[in-house]
Structure 1
Amino acid sequence: MQTVVHLVSADETEQQTALNIVRNLVEDESGTIDDVAVVAQAGGIERVTTREDEGEEVENLLADGVEFKACSNTLQMKGLEESDLVGGIETVPEGAVEVTRLQTEGYAYIRP
């Protein structure tokens, strides 16, 4: 199974819930989870920047094979650069389009 988690809220509790879900998917012992992706856009983009104190949590998930994708439109809108992102995060032109693309490839959608 493949899962995409949509990190879109500026609410810190929702952001942490999203990352907790991602951690649970990565640590699933059933062997049924193949790929996990996180698409960050809108208010959720802050959680994947180097400005966040929790950047280490994102780095650990990246090291565990989670793909993180950041919306370029959101970066531009918020005056952020790719260099503001935690290292290893891919940028995509539009977050919603990326979520939709992943869903058409069979990814299950989760948004806390």
Structure 2
Amino acid sequence: MAHHSTALDGVFLALADPTRRAVVHRLGHGPASVGDLARDTTMTLPSFLKHVRVLESSGLIHTRKTGRVRTCELNRERLAVVEDWLARQRRLWTGRTDRLEQFVTGPEEKNPT
């Protein structure tokens, strides 16, 4: 497949889950502890930690441990992988729809001046 990227696949896989998207959204407002993030869900802490590991392995978040508290922070640069892919798709489809419009409307008649 053209432009296949394991980094992009990993980010999309991580964002495929609504819990992980909610974590990314929350971290968009600033760093938070795992405990604070888990409080917003109905799942157990061990189950929630699996989501944190997926986000961390995709590179979307970084975690650091200080004492007994693990803090998560969004890696905004990793979102650029998705942004770049979407921009390429947008250019591709804009070009296609422009060509389709030209085909459907036919050549424009020029006004003699």
> Does TM, scored on the shorter chain, surpass 0.5?
no
Superposition TM-score, scaled by structure 2 size: 0.30
Is the radius of gyration larger for structure 1 or structure 2?
Answer: 2
Higher relative contact order (CA 8 A, sep 6+): 1
Which structure features the higher share of helix residues? 2
